[in-house]
Structure 1
């Protein structure tokens, strides 16, 4: 018998299996890095599976928590033998599409519909729909995916783009691979490649993350045919590099193109200095950055202040990052998960903008790269940028650096920093108090915020710097109100000091108007079906029209935006975020929600079941509400609970719960 469990349920069972005694749900949730509500939802699904398997449900004791019984542990261990999950994992559509792309791009013979149906455990009709999405996704990057009569599906296009897209989608499904749900890591070819890559690693005297080795090994296993690659100026440089010579020794039978590509993946960030252009030549990158900012503005519906500065900083970043997109490099900064989570909603919005932007440049942008873009947007849009400003950084190097090479690298990578000066360790004590963070290529005895890095500023160094920055930002946000009060309290009469302190902390720490404050009970609707997406937008916005929040032209603008730009604000999980930039047609801020039981098609690819309409008179409030909406609607469990509501009062109460949580 097969059992339907997802990855998160598997993680819950793995965690519980380690305990012999009871563990609280709060403790378990903290260990898993998810909310208590998500854990409770997972436990319900696990108990349903246990009932199906004919065994007892998870033991629960008041004030003690939960634990797995021996029979449950044995059952789970039996399903997890030999590195492969024996339960019937249900792939999402995105996961199916990513797997089809990975197995097709460099295959000699693409699987038939029947073979895919059996592998993915879905119907032939479902696979046909998946194949349409595969074709459209690949078309975004100029890759043709076509069906030829009697020959089956074929793939053609620029070889470098095909490689880049392959690495992108390997990264997309890597969590499933590492969990053993997709059993690539047990493939003998992959294990052989891992062995060779580790030997190369030892000869180079470097330590690659296991994930990097795994992804390169999987890429080599999936490469069944050779494709021409246009290296431009990189080919000669790579051939002269020692990494290429070592790769060639361990892979003599690989084509030269494949040896060069493996070398590029192993070089990673060290390829950068050969790939970028001088800052004086970034005109083209400014055009690219302008498009990215325009996508973001259209997405959030506000005009970014001083956007030319943001465009310039993004252009400098793209100048030094575009090669990573082109080559599909997979090494990461190491703290992208923390950046994605803090603030997650900004990361999700930047990711949506980057998705549109990636079509313009013809290469996908992975989550690690989106994390870096989020830093730039976040640094520019911080609420208290006037009070906080750029963070002052002191660089410490072994000896004088007249060309300021490290300073240039730090400026390029970290827009939130202002390097006040570069000094040697002997000069450090003379500059106390001029800076908040020290970045040093030398080991120091220093008690403040301090990152020890190499002078090359590689991926591991960036991780260290970002960790220090995140710790500093957290502490700074907590202390800013108190610091301001301490500076001004001597000018305030004693009897008023308590009131002033409370007002200052309220200004810096109190929540801004949020989604719940703008969502009235009468603005929530539940319907069974609707004929088309235009009617759905009009129906969703109807309460705001009737209440005088918006004029009819606001609805017309939302419809026009969708006609011109497509579903750029589709959040996934069947949720569409409907809004547009106010043109004097928003009279009072408001939010409306419409659920459609049977869904409605927005274009070919998107089946929308929840429509969220946001209209705001203030752009800061607008952006805050959007972030909160994204936070709720990108959580699959929350969306499912909203869709289970059949009455408006239940839907409103559910949204209110989620809004209070966020």
Structure 2
């Protein structure tokens, strides 16, 4: 029975597990069904039986584990696997073929691919079609010549980019453990020493952080180290890069160029080779596109950077308009977003590849935030003259999502936690926001990189880490940066388990404290005191389950009672008052909220006019919102929010939001409705409320 990619990963997980591995954990980590989990476990058991080893065991139906004999024997056995015993997926085969094409310095033929992947000629032919497609995306072509075999033709920088993609996919994907052993020998030099040990490369990169005055993310250091491996691999085959003179001139003026020169000097010293200015500029481009945890560099004065700062401000403005929220700490948000958007800009400008394994999770768990981000980023897309890919959009959405959660956090805390995250600011902050909402009595004191955590001491009670981490005395839980409902339940159960585990020194109970207090004083209300002591000593999470809160849909908010028609209003102030009247009557808002909406327009201008003829007045939740609500006013005659034609409004939708998120689903449905011209014609021409209600219902799903 052959082991495939997923079952090999699961077997490796069972070998290293110090506790039971549950089906739910496997389902969450691999994104597969319960049926598939049992199927993979059966494949593992068949393979173990073939090798005369004890199979997986289960304990009271709670989870699975491997007998100690199996744990000891399997690692050596897996190293000795014959090629035919490991079944490569198509993605793995394509990766192997791609790396073979771009690292071999002699002709590569069909037979080489067959031998490497251990599949039939027909299967390899199908795989080559996919390889050709991937190469074409990088403006590269796969050619075949009878004497030379298969050859990749195109610009050297494009070859490096796709080779980096192939290698990064393997070395950063923990499910491809077996592939790593195959890949290492393919990227070694002629003398037999390998570049695959990334530690020296990582050290070279970390040494230039003081020059850049930044702290690079742990994940970025890993990817940059791979980039250096690729560079050395290509130079080994005398494949030199040639950049556009204007590009070289631009990047040579940056601080990253000085850091790249230091990297080049170290590579020349360690590997006895010479790097041209073009190669140094190529390294500079990778550094410019690198994500950071923080930066001390002042970038005032650079025209390109100043333009980027204005773009950041415009994006935040657009996001606020589309989300109908107002960020309180605007300047702080601008600085944080600029720190992220700067490398994003350079990655796209210089075609530096990036991947975001959280993109699918962000789109699933935060669909409205992702959608609003996609609409709000047009200023950076205009600056770059290209659309942002979904992976970059997801990173930006994570920043906005984290900030929206951050502004809602408050309350008294008991117990402290720290987040260890190697993926950067946006990822760690969105996890922090989720944890603070979930564990209301646990103070998250900060988010740190893996390097920071290992080099410092933190006074905390809990550690949450986005990658496996061991600590000699503190409890550690590995979590996904984007928490699903199942993930949240796991955290709550873990917290309760940690709190219920007895310490070396047993804590006093409420009853013991009561008896001591009686000895030395008079208690006037024993029952109430005992209740408070019981609450103080209770677990920090009040419940072991999470209430599933559904965001209201558009037809929950816009209905017979909240839709109005009017011929005209005296001015825009009266229009807002009239439009808000249904919400005021139902006591969903107070009169102070109406005053706040009017003041916002007076202070900020007609920002509430989101499109010609349409305005969505709103203010902050704390300015008078009792429950989430929305009301619609359709006017026969336009009202002026300014002297400009684009600020003449016939349709007002007042939004009352209780926080930064609850209203987003209904708002997204409203945006979809208003984006169709025929829908606006129907609203403007409607004679009865039911005509609009029918339209609202159509978009409420």
| Bucket of the pairwise TM-score, normalised by the shorter protein | 0.3 to 0.5
Q: With structure 2 as the length reference, what TM-score do the two structures score? A: 0.45
Q: Which has the larger radius of gyration?
A: 2
Q: With structure 1 as the length reference, what TM-score do the two structures score? A: 0.48
Which of the pair has the greater relative contact order for Cα pairs under 8 Å at 6+ separation?
1
